[in-house]
Amino acid sequence: MNSKYKQLLQPFQFENGVQLKNRIVMAPMTNFSSNEDGTVTKAETDYYSRRSGGPGMVITACAYVTPSGKGFPGEFGSDIDDMIPSLKQLAESIKEKGAKAIMQIFHGGRMVPAELVPGGNVVSASDVPAEQGHPSGEAPVPRALTIDEIHSIIDDFGESTRRAIQAGFDGVEIHGANGYLIQQFVSPHSNRREDEFGGSLEKRLAFPLAVVDSVKKAAAEFGDKNFLVGYRFSPEEPETPGITMEDTLALVDALKEKNLDYLHISLMEYWSAPRRGIDDTRSRLEIIQERIGDSVPLIGVGSIYTPEDAVKAMNTGVPLIALGRELIIDPDWVQKIEEGREDKIETRLDKQAQDRLVVPDPLWQAIINTPGWFPVKE
């Protein structure tokens, strides 16, 4: 192994004693490949197994915690106990290769396609449609959740955590990023409520913090001290009014007090700079890492393809680096570094290599038919 990459392969220990074999994490990525009933397919377990021999930790695609939160065709579910055997197969496919298995849990809120949820009933913090990025093209106007429904969804996150524990996962990641329901409560664009869950920034943070409490309570009740709980967030959003860096730093300050095992930022570009809300020219990730300090580990992510990219990213002080697209392009990324074969790492997708890369057909078709999403070998 080349000594300049040594820091990427150092073991990492969480505060609760759980150890990862290295600093590389597989980022959560939707793969559109589950059965219609929300159970996991063999194509998915094969896909995860193929990528779980290198990273220290693998975070799965998101699992909906209740049917009203299903955000993608071919998304797997964690909403009922009948899903536990299916989830167990997924956890085992990751763990048997030596990685820790983390299940991401999620509710899509106003970003779900109406045809995927019962009765076409799209819900959110308020009845404000998404401005951009809705998978249906024209965004539906969501129905504002009632207080009772909000509390029910908070409980659903806890129940999904219990199922993850019973399925043998090593942890869960709360999906509070990418414009989905938890972020919708934080955002002044999607949350226009005037009750305990909206209005001031403090009240807009009430829902995500209650979800964290629900998940932590389930982890304590049904798991052991080794069960990991992480939280993923997006630092900003483009809408006006929308989440600013100032809002995100307040969220981070609140999450620091929750005794989480890690925080995970969601970025397409590691070095992207703030849009608004703060007078600082550094990257968002560096600003957030400084704010967090040593209080909780931060996972950095965003267009990291080469070992040099990863080392440069780690030099910002972030202890863990997540790879998403790159582990689809080259599932043996970590092993090639370990073996001193980093010159053999592929950083552009070979469009003829679906079978070799073990990528399920729905995900492969999405990649091939979305120009610009992946760097492609011409």
Distance CA 179, CA 31 (A): 18
Tell me, what's the pLDDT at 208? 98
Distance CA 335, CA 130 (A): 41
Task: Evaluate if residue 287 carries a pLDDT over 90.
Answer: yes
User: Which residue in 47, 48, 64, 180 is the catalytic one?
Assistant: 180
Residues 81 and 163 sit within 8 Å (Cβ to Cβ) = yes
- Residue 96 DSSP symbol: T
Domain chopping of the chain, boundaries = 19-369
Mean pLDDT of the chain: 96
What is the model's pTM?
0.98
Tell me, what's the pLDDT at 320? 98
Tell me, what's the pLDDT at 276? 83
Cα Rg of the chain, angstroms: 19
Integer angstrom CA distances of residue 205 from 168, 256, 331: 30, 13, 37
19-369 — its CATH code?
Answer: 3.20.20.70
- The 3 state secondary structure assigned to 291-335 is HHCCCCCEEECCCCCCHHHHHHHHCCCCCEEEECHHHHHCCCHHH
Q: Is 47 part of the annotated catalytic residue set?
A: no
117-129 burial by CB neighbour count: b if 16+ within 10 A, else e? beeeebbbbbebe
Cβ neighbors of 291 (< 8 A, separation 6 or more) are 249, 252, 253
Distance CA 160, CA 179 (A): 20
First to last CA, the chain: 30
Tell me, what's the pLDDT at 275? 86
pLDDT band at 102 (very low <50, low <70, confident <90, very high): very high
Tell me, what's the pLDDT at 91? 98
Digit-coded pLDDT (tens) for 18-60: 999 999 999 999 999 999 999 999 999 999 999 999 999 999 9
